[in-house]
Amino acid sequence: MPPMQPHWDIFCRVVDNYGDIGVCWRLARQLAAEHGKRVRLWVDDLASLQPLCPACDPALPAQALAGVEVRHWVDDATVDWLAEAKIADVVVEAFACELPPGYVAGMAQRPARPVWLNLEYLSAESWVESCHGMASPHPSLPLTKHFVFPGFSPSTAGLPREARLPAAPLAALPATPEISLFCYATAPVASLLEAFAASPRPLRCLVPPGQPLAAVRACLGGDGPWQLGLARIEPIPFLAQDDYDALLRRCAINFVRGEDSFVRAQWAGRPFVWQIYRQDDDAHLGKLDAFLDRYCADLAEPAARALRQLFLAWNTGADCTAAWADFLGHYDAIAHHAAGWNAALRMQPDLATNLVKFCAAQV
């Protein structure tokens, strides 16, 4: 008989609405579907998973979805983790969410200690390459945690990417471009709408529920759709992950945020504008600059400057009307670069494959 596949536990505490759970859900699905792993995904807020996976019932404590056992993670010191769930062979602590103390104690009691991974947030900063895979012994238990950093180079854990990722063919700006708008409430949506209203060509802007639609409604009033000159602004339903991926591939330009949609926009191979998750003291702006330095390294001027100006305006709340016009004026060069960046990233191993190989080397 073939050997039993290792059992993986992924713990996710939802912080950024759909970013954290989006990454963890994709990873869990891929580990099960492509690597044959037995995966349990522990989530503290199942209501955030349901829009991404409509089959999810937030009221259930346990359910099977897409080959993954999804469990409601309840913060309760009285839970007996040894009785509640067999400790896994591989334990993924997503984004420093802090495992339940009782679960950690159970890990230490296993004769064969589990591989313990702390999955960090994605960063383009150069220091993550030297820290990827770093071991951190537990201060009092016979356990070692390894820090794994997703990233954009072969010296990191790579990016989430399924094996059958659709191709991203290069396309010119269509006569009536579609634009997806997924942003935080802090984005300068009002100035973007002003730029859309002044557009010399027709366009459609597709806005999902939540913070994006709330920002548009605050500017325009009513429930939409709205007509601003030649621009049509249309509310759309919240889309499951696979449907959202298809939307990104269809749109000529994608405004994205956080981590999950940011990565998926790059796999779509289309021009995009990223709003990074805001941090205290504007620490996020250094991370944004690190990505722009890496992303624009092979993009010639003045297209690189146009792209940077729009990214910075979008992330600092500045007026983006002029930056939007400049971005559109260099669309062909930016689109060609997005396709080339996509192709280069596809040459690297994906996150799930790298994690499986890393864990195999620890046994």
Catalytically annotated residue among 16, 69, 89, 259:
259
Q: In what order do the strands lie in the sheet with 134-137?
A: 62-65, 68-72, 38-43, 7-12, 90-94, 115-119, 144-148, 134-137
CB atoms within 10 A of CB 236: 17
Question: Residue 250: what residue type?
Answer: R
The torsion angles phi and psi of 231, rounded to 5 degrees, stand at -95, 130
Helices assigned H by DSSP within the chain: 19-35, 46-49, 81-84, 101-109, 127-131, 189-197, 211-220, 241-250, 260-268, 283-295, 303-316, 321-329, 331-346, 351-362
**Which residues on neighbouring strands pair with residue 255, listed in sequence order?**
181, 273
Of the candidates 151, 196, 189, 136, which has an alpha carbon nearest to the alpha carbon of residue 313? 189
CB burial readout 66-89, b (16+ within 10 A) else e: eebbbbbbeeeeeeebeeebebbb
Whole-number Å distance between alpha carbons of 26 and 265: 15
Residue 277 near residue 19, CB atoms below 8 Å: yes
CA separation for the pair 343, 34 (Å, rounded): 21
- Adjacency order of strands within the sheet including 226-228: 226-228, 231-235, 203-207, 178-181, 253-257, 272-275
> Torsions phi, psi of 220, nearest 5?
-110, -20
Burial class (CB in 10 A: 0-12, 13-18, 19+), 59: exposed
* Catalytically annotated residue among 9, 16, 20, 260: 20
Annotation marks residue 178 as catalytic? no
Report how far residue 29's alpha carbon sits from residue 44's, in angstroms, rounded to the nearest whole number: 18
Instruction: Identify whether 293 is a catalytic site residue.
Output: no
Q: Which residues are catalytic?
A: 20, 259
